[in-house]
Amino acid sequence: MALIENETGAQRTLGYVLDVAQGDGRARCFLDVTEAHANRHGVLHGGIAVMILDNAMGATGSLTVDDTGRAPFLTISMATNFVGPAHVGQRITATGRVTGGGRSLLFIEARLEADDGALIATATGVFKRVPRDRMEQGGDA
């Protein structure tokens, strides 16, 4: 299993991990929910849920062009539907799936589920591949 851990400031701060090596073209982003991730109601903060979904979808897009899951894709738009809560002590996992697109734009969906199989949220998004020459120049896409 190839895991991407502690690669970004957000990963180091929140503790989520990307799994990009299941061989099915779907990245998984997981997080062990702690008090640090909870909102005032004691459940997973919605913004963190969105970030986990976004990372799973972006890495899924990356897997279409890079087996390491590290080719950059930018989120163009994203819609999220919250279905149920995630509680402190649970592991949550977002799994992305490409649903369409072409050379530069991909349509991707994801499901966020708790370790007991409960559905937490779903999302759909449009993601844009960052051209290689833009990355080599260090410019914004």
Q: Is residue 77 helix, strand or coil?
A: strand
Cα separation, 57 vs 105, in Å, equals 13
* Structure confidence at residue 136 (pLDDT): 54
Termini Cα distance of the chain: 31
**β-pair partners for 10:** none
Q: Which residue has the tokens 């149920």?
A: 84
Q: How confident is the model at residue 75 (pLDDT cuts 50, 70, 90)?
A: very high
Q: Which residue has the tokens 């409960």?
A: 118
* pTM score, whole prediction: 0.91
Asked if residue 105 lies in contact with residue 128, where contact means CB atoms within 8 angstroms, the answer is yes
pLDDT in tens, 85-113: 999 999 999 999 999 998 889 999 999 99
Widest distance between CA atoms in the chain: 46
pLDDT in tens, 28-54: 999 999 999 999 999 999 999 999 999
Give all domains of the chain, ordered by start, each with its CATH number: 3-137 (3.10.129.10)
